């Protein structure tokens, strides 16, 4: 299944200036990284443009293999995954959103096609990287789901090890940290926007 709603011009424009789930760990930590992120979001808003991000080998691999992983999920569970683009937060529509890799009924879906070592750690220990955990918490906060399936896939391993689904429950306490971080980030972002508007007379 090709995800036609992500990585499009419309998807990038929807993300412009908004805090997204891919940065959820930085948002929840609410430290120096959040300031830098908020600065960047302010400039995206002002210029209506985004900084080009160089794609790593891991990102390219994920984009290439994600449709295979979703197809495998659909085969295993006998479902058709709903494709979505960038979903806007109801509570903070101008400032936040998320792009889950798909929705399946009550489930939020996040797909990771990691290299062998990280895949095997996740596979054997049901380990979810902290940044992936945070990402799914913010996705669920935005899309309203209360359960997420963390789908891991690596076709370079023996078949029995290629595919696994780890189920994650909504963590209200962690989501509160994300919300607090977003509110802090909004204030920092708005300071930059206000300074710009004062300078140019808007």
Domain parsing of the chain, residue ranges: 9-200
Closest CA to 94 of 170, 176, 190, 200: 190
Q: Taking the mean position of all CA atoms in its chain, how far away is CA 166?
A: 17
Per-residue pLDDT tens for 86-111?
A: 999 999 999 999 999 999 999 999 99
- Low-confidence winner among 3-7, 93-97, 134-138, 180-184 (lowest mean pLDDT): 3-7
Q: What is the pTM of this model?
A: 0.91
CA dihedral (4, 10, 15, 21) in degrees, to 10, reads: -10
| Statement: 9-200 belongs to CATH 3.90.320.10 | yes
pLDDT band at 60 (very low <50, low <70, confident <90, very high): confident
Per-residue pLDDT tens for 122-132?
A: 999 999 999 99
């Amino acid at each position: 299944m090709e995800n036609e709603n992500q990585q499009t011009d419309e998807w990038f424009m929807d993300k412009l200036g908004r805090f997204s789930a891919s940065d959820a760990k930085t948002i929840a930590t609410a430290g120096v990284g959040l300031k830098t992120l908020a600065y960047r979001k302010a400039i995206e808003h002002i210029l209506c443009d985004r900084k080009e991000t160089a794609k790593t080998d891991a990102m390219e691999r994920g984009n290439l293999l994600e449709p295979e992983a979703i197809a495998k999920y659909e085969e295993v569970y006998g479902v058709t995954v709903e494709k979505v683009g960038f979903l806007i937060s109801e509570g903070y529509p101008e400032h936040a959103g998320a792009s889950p890799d798909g929705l399946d009924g009550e489930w939020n879906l996040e797909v990771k096609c990691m290299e062998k070592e990280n895949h095997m750690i996740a596979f054997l220990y049901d380990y979810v990287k902290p940044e992936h955990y945070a990402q799914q918490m913010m996705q669920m906060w935005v899309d309203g789901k209360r359960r997420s399936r963390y789908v891991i896939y690596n076709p370079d391993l023996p078949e029995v090890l290629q595919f696994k689904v780890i189920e994650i429950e909504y963590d209200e306490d962690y989501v509160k940290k994300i919300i607090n971080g977003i509110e802090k980030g909004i204030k920092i972002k708005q300071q930059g926007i206000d300074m710009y508007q004062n300078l140019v007379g808007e």
